[in-house]
Homo-oligomer: A and B are copies of this chain.
């Protein structure tokens, strides 16, 4: 099973490579008979154009890059799933990289992807990324970028996000409706857009229910679990919470660890809400209710924007923002 080239076909059929090429691309200039012969033969020997040669010629690699903080996270792996689905359908392949929440690696990867001539990039920013200067460099010349989930504050970029405000509002509201009055909010670093939006949803729900907000109940955490304990300790010692709204998978897990260590799960006093895509949250002890993001759909939509851009090279398309709805899981 050696790879067949145009030249092989040309030689076998006693034609020039150009004729063969044109016949296969169904050019109008080629005789129908010749066309049929060529097509027949190509099928027989299982000819597939060499995608690398095509890339070199066409200056396009039919590959898109994806950068996420971490693959082994349900939200991201589902999003990748969606990206993959759309990309595959449209003849692109997907190259995946992880920033491991490090700006430095993010910079590296972007450069690498650019050097490797991927046609565009989908990215969910690392927690340590404060701005997108390192990406703007590239995105200027015909190198499309779409941000999803963890997006920059900038206006004129492509983004796909969820309605974080509403998600947080609904979750908080739910807890209040169950009689909770001192709802702690453990959330991601304040630089991230998701943090800000969720925080204001939380605050609005409190306000709408005439509950005084207490800054001691709000804790910002990075994604390193060793730093989580401090926040959790402070909460329990000083703030007397009766429910927890936790903004990320990682923090929620640390929290449960700590919670079990303290044997607090025996008491039925507390309620828990997370903003996560953990498929198994309801199996936890005590159960973790969740605001679920349509991760797969986020992936699909992001890929759609990117690929539409790529295939529409003529004029620079307007930057697009898509906002998807979250969903509550409370069972």
Residues on A facing B (Cβ under 8 Å): 1-3, 48, 50-53, 55-56, 61, 63, 71-74, 77-78, 80-81, 84, 88, 93-98, 115-117, 137-138, 140-141, 253, 256-257, 260, 278-280, 282-287
| A61-B52 in contact (CB<8A) | yes
Smallest beta-carbon distance A251→chain B, Å: 13
Selected A-B contacts with CB under 8 Å, 26 pairs: A2-B141, A50-B56, A50-B117, A51-B116, A51-B117, A52-B52, A53-B56, A63-B95, A71-B81, A72-B74, A72-B77, A72-B81, A73-B77, A80-B96, A84-B96, A84-B97, A88-B97, A93-B116, A96-B96, A253-B280, A256-B280, A257-B283, A278-B280, A280-B284, A283-B285, A284-B285
Contact B141 A52 (CB under 8 A): no
B93 touches A94 (CB 8 A): no
The answer on a CB contact under 8 Å between A52 and B117 is yes
Measured CB to CB, the closest approach of chain B to A310, in angstroms, equals 16
**How many whole Å from A264's CB to the nearest CB in chain B?**
13
Partner of A80, one of B63, B71, B283: B71
Residues in chain B near residue A94, CB distance under 8 A? 95-96
CA distance A128 to B140 in the complex (A): 46
Q: Is the CB of B93 within 8 A of A93?
A: no
Bound Cα distance A47, B254 (Å): 45
